[in-house]
Chain A
Amino acid sequence: MASINETLKQATVGIAGLGGLGSTVAVALARGGIGQLIIADFDTIETSNLTRQQYFTDQIGKSKVDAMVENLQRINPSVHVRGHRVKLTAHNVPEIFAEADVIAECFDKAEEKQMIVEAVLRRMDKPTIVSVSGLAGYGNSNAICTRRISARLILVGDGESGIDSGQILTAPRVGIAACHQANAIVEVIIDETKK
């Protein structure tokens, strides 16, 4: 059997959205030795993003994809990163993430979370999707959990804390959810190879 490091190096992970969740998942997986990352976002970095997203002050105004490609190369040059500066839709998701073994849903809006989970489960055969619902606010770390909903859907979060109820996003609590996501992704990759 291949070693765990070799297994992770062979894996391809898609990251949909590069905000607080996506940028943190990307950094964790690059450090963790995932071989290929496919990252996608249409947005540019704003000052307010720096409270919880893995960018630097001199990257304000840059596209998140370009900045993250740069940062990941500095962290671990052996990771192959493919960046897509694009707005993800139900139609382009299967194409952009065609080679992904696992996809991380890292969007902000509830409707977009719904869209990509539905698209991956309905329009793709292979990848597992690890999605997040409920990470806003502070404290209450242990309310954030990871649950397998069905064969290809894993859900992270406390299920209820949204920014719609006026709660803020904080680096620690978003980071907890993002690392749950990254950890679930590593687990899926390693477990898949045991089958």
Chain B
Amino acid sequence: MESLKINGVKKQFAAGIPATIAVLLEQLRIEAATVVAEIDGQIIECEKFAETKLHEGQSIELVRFVPGG
């Protein structure tokens, strides 16, 4: 089964991994404007989420911000 490592935890996708970061965030119900995403240590800009394709075995860090400061 295809998998991604998300925030250090291996996650398997029975129907194949999501096509892009945008699709992944949609599946996780996370609002894109509040997330910083890194793929294999490389920062991906929010505006490129829809065009950034995901590949089997990648390691993804999703940092989700909640308001307050």
Does A associate with B in a complex?
Answer: yes
Q: Chain A: residues with CB nearer than 8 A to chain B?
A: 17, 19-22, 106-111, 113-114, 117-118, 121-122, 131-136, 149-151, 153, 155, 157, 159-165, 167, 169, 174
Q: In the complex where A122-B43, A150-B41, A150-B61 touch, is A114 in contact with B36 (Cβ < 8 A)?
A: yes
- A118 near B68 with CB under 8 A, answer no
Question: What are 12 inter-chain pairs, A to B, with CB distance below 8 A?
Answer: A20-B69, A110-B34, A114-B34, A114-B65, A122-B43, A131-B65, A133-B64, A149-B38, A150-B38, A159-B66, A162-B67, A163-B67
- B66 near A110 with CB under 8 A, answer yes
Is B24's beta carbon under 8 Å from chain A? no
Query: What is the CA–CA distance of A135 and B66 in the complex, to the nearest angstrom?
Result: 9
Query: What is the CA–CA distance of A192 and B38 in the complex, to the nearest angstrom?
Result: 23
- A161 near B68 with CB under 8 A, answer yes
Contact residues of B between 51 and 69, Cβ < 8 Å to A: 61, 63-69
Is B28's beta carbon under 8 Å from chain A? no
Q: What are the 6 A-B residue pairs with the smallest beta carbon separation, nearest first? A: A162-B66, A110-B34, A110-B65, A113-B65, A121-B43, A108-B69
- A122 near B45 with CB under 8 A, answer yes
Query: What is the CA–CA distance of A9 and B34 in the complex, to the nearest angstrom?
Result: 35
Q: Which of A21, A122, A132, A159 contacts B64 (CB 8 A)?
A: A159
Interface centre among B35, B38, B46, B69 (most CB of A within 10 A): B69
Say how far A190's CB is from chain B's closest CB, in angstroms: 24
Which B residues are in CB contact (< 8 Å) with A21? 69
Q: Which residue of B lies closest to A152 (CB)?
A: B43
- B64 near A136 with CB under 8 A, answer no
Q: In the complex where A121-B43, A133-B63, A150-B41 touch, is A22 in contact with B68 (Cβ < 8 A)?
A: no
Size class of the contact patch on chain B: 10 to 19
Query: What is the CA–CA distance of A159 and B41 in the complex, to the nearest angstrom?
Result: 20
Q: In the complex where A17-B69, A136-B68 touch, is A153 in contact with B63 (Cβ < 8 A)?
A: yes
Which A residues are in CB contact (< 8 Å) with B65? 110-111, 113-114, 117, 131, 133
Interface centre among B36, B45, B65 (most CB of A within 10 A): B65
- B36 near A108 with CB under 8 A, answer no
Interface centre among A110, A135, A155, A160 (most CB of B within 10 A): A110
Q: Which of A118, A153, A161 contacts B66 (CB 8 A)?
A: A161
Say how far A146's CB is from chain B's closest CB, in angstroms: 13
- A22 near B38 with CB under 8 A, answer no
Q: Which residue of B lies closest to A113 (CB)?
A: B65
